[in-house]
DNA sequence: GGTAAACACGAGCGACCGCTCGCGTTTCTC
DNA sequence: GAGAAACGCGAGCGGTCGCTCGTGTTTACC
């Protein structure tokens, strides 16, 4: 109870001014983490391996991240932010009113492209083995995407009950992740084939709920 | 090179006569392993935890399994065998000729029921983190189911090219696993809702390929 | 009943894990 | 250029892991 000086040890402790070198190291470490997570999964990935891959010592890694979990959280947040910044535009009202086939192209193609370039994202999204608090951030990451899908379905078909809409969004996202796994597991022509299969599957699933035709713009 | 006595140390080494007590212990250990794998995933599950859950010492566990990997392999094989014995009947020519909606019910309902009763099966099926040789058995387990689906699709629509059929079987299985994950993650009414959504999704995906009507019996 | 094998135990070995700490180097600020 | 702070290192700490081994108990077979 003798900590009444100036700084609490809990959150918002101290902003720790980073130098340009530090920011560079952080990026190196996150890139290395993405590679190692992707290769071994979250649990099997070791912080020493991440540091080695980044070309720094274990001590240096812990200059920038308080623990292993924070690395995964930060990586997930950055990837999620980057995906929404770069391709988040796809969840627009204009796209929602397109014919279903075009809507799927407009949404899926950028998503797939991003995930092919950043396979660690899917790894984090479906890392079911994970200790305690990482699961919360994991869920947050999940919901962040889920909400976009939910919203798009709501715009497309406002008559759907909230429960049904949630189920549909949840299932659609699960189907997407499943297809994405197949896509990332193949290359070249095989990959393209699975992209087509995924679109077929989502079309077949969503057509009865969302309709295949474009919906007219609201007055 | 001086091992020309009688028994090679490699495969088919010695059959080690098991007593009834031993068989019972093996079952206890596999049940415990299923529970622990399911709770923590393959990598995070510790052999000591499995032994503890089975109520035996670590040493006893290693009387029956040479290593951790062998536990997962044996568990996977037993579950797979039991599923095929109990519900493998669903992949019959008679079922293949049913109307699609009834075909899906006939195939999915037993599968879902089995996986709800044995959630460790899905855990093993999608344990992507795994060292070396477990992946081979993992793939074998995978293919064992995949082949059934492939065969069923072949009976239903013989005109499909082998490549397209393989893609369809692969994607259908991936979609099934995705839906199964949602189903196992919920209970009661929510679970039933996701069962319905999964059937809808697979119906929408397979209808254009397999046709919705029953196919006539072959002369 | 005697003996060999199967079963059971649990302390603990070696390896690796996440992470720390003491100390040296680089960079910023005045 | 002096002081502070950020950066960087790597041996190694405490802990857990998969797994072993010496020893004792139970069971099968004659």
pLDDT tens column, A180-202: 999 999 999 999 999 999 999 99
Residue A124's domain is classified under what CATH number?
Answer: 1.10.357.10
Structure tokens at B156: 């239903």
Question: Which is more confidently placed, A2 or B52?
Answer: B52
The rounded distance, in Å, linking the Cα atoms of A176 and B197 is 14
Pair A54, A162 in one domain: no
Residue A2, C-beta contacts closer than 8 angstroms, at least 6 positions apart: none
How sure is the predictor about A32, in pLDDT bands with cuts at 50, 70 and 90? very high
Structural domain including A200 reads: 72-210
Q: Say which DSSP state B194 is in.
A: H
Residues 62-81/A with CB < 7 A to strand D: 62-64
Distances (CA, A) of A49 to A33, A42, A53, A61, A62: 9, 12, 6, 11, 13
Pair B43, B110 in one domain: no
Tell me how many domains chain B contains.
2
Residue A13 pLDDT: 54
Structure tokens at A181: 């796994």
Tokens 């088919």 correspond to: B12
Residue finishing a domain among A65, A86, A119: A65
Residue A7 pLDDT: 39
Residue B5 pLDDT: 38
Q: Which of A82-91, A208-217, B36-45 has the highest mean pLDDT?
A: B36-45
Residue finishing a domain among A65, A100, A119: A65
Q: What is the 3-state secondary structure (H, E, C) of chain A?
A: CCCCCCCCCCCCCCCCCCCHHHHHHHHHHHHHHHHHHHHHHHHHCCHHHHHHHHCCCHHHHHHHCCCHHHHHHHHHHHHHHHHHHHHHHHCCHHHHCCCHHHHHHHHHHHHHHHHHHCCHHHHHHCCCCCCCHHHHHHHHHHHHHHHHHHHHHHHHCCCCCHHHHHHHHHHHHHHHHHHHHHHHCCCHHHHHHHHHHHHHHHHHHHHHHHCCCCCCCCC
- Global confidence as pTM: 0.91
Contact of A193 with B167, CB cutoff 8 Å: yes
Between B43, B182, B203, which is nearest A43 by CB?
Answer: B43
Question: Which is more confidently placed, A79 or A217?
Answer: A79
Q: Which bases of chain D come closer than 7 Å to a protein CB?
A: 5-12, 16-22, 26-28
Residue A11 located in a structural domain: no
Residue finishing a domain among B65, B99, B125: B65
Give me the count of residues in chain B: 219
Pair B50, B122 in one domain: no
Pair A45, A141 in one domain: no
- B137-195 pLDDT, tens per residue? 889 989 999 999 999 999 999 999 999 999 999 999 999 999 999 999 999 999 999 99
Does the C-beta of A25 come within 7 A of strand D? yes
Structure tokens at A130: 């994970």
Instruction: Work out the number of other CB atoms within 10 angstroms of the CB of residue A69.
Output: 17
Give the angle B94-B99-B105 at the CA atoms, nearest 5°.
Answer: 80
The separation, in Å, between residue A51 CA and nucleotide D8 C1' comes to: 12
């Amino acid at each position: 109870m003798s900590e009444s000086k100036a700084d609490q040890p809990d959150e918002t402790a101290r902003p720790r001014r980073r130098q340009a070198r530090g920011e560079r190291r952080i990026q190196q470490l996150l890139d290395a983490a993405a590679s190692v997570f992707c290769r071994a999964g979250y649990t099997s990935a070791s912080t020493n391996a991440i540091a080695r891959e980044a070309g720094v010592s274990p001590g240096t890694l812990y200059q920038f991240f308080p623990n292993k979990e924070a690395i995964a959280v930060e990586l997930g947040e950055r990837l999620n932010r980057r995906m929404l910044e770069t391709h988040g535009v796809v969840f627009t009202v204009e796209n929602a009113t397109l014919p279903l086939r075009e809507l799927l192209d407009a949404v899926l193609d950028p998503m797939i492209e991003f995930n092919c370039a950043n396979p660690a994202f899917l790894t984090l999204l479906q890392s079911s083995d994970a200790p305690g608090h990482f699961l919360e951030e994991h869920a947050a990451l999940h919901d962040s995407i889920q909400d976009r899908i939910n919203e798009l379905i709501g715009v497309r078909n406002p008559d759907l009950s909230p429960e049904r809409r949630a189920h549909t969004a949840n299932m659609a996202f699960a189907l997407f992740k499943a297809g994405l796994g197949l896509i990332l597991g193949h290359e070249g022509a095989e990959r393209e084939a699975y992209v087509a299969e995924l679109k077929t599957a989502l079309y077949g699933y969503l057509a009865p709920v969302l309709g295949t035709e474009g919906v007219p713009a609201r007055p």
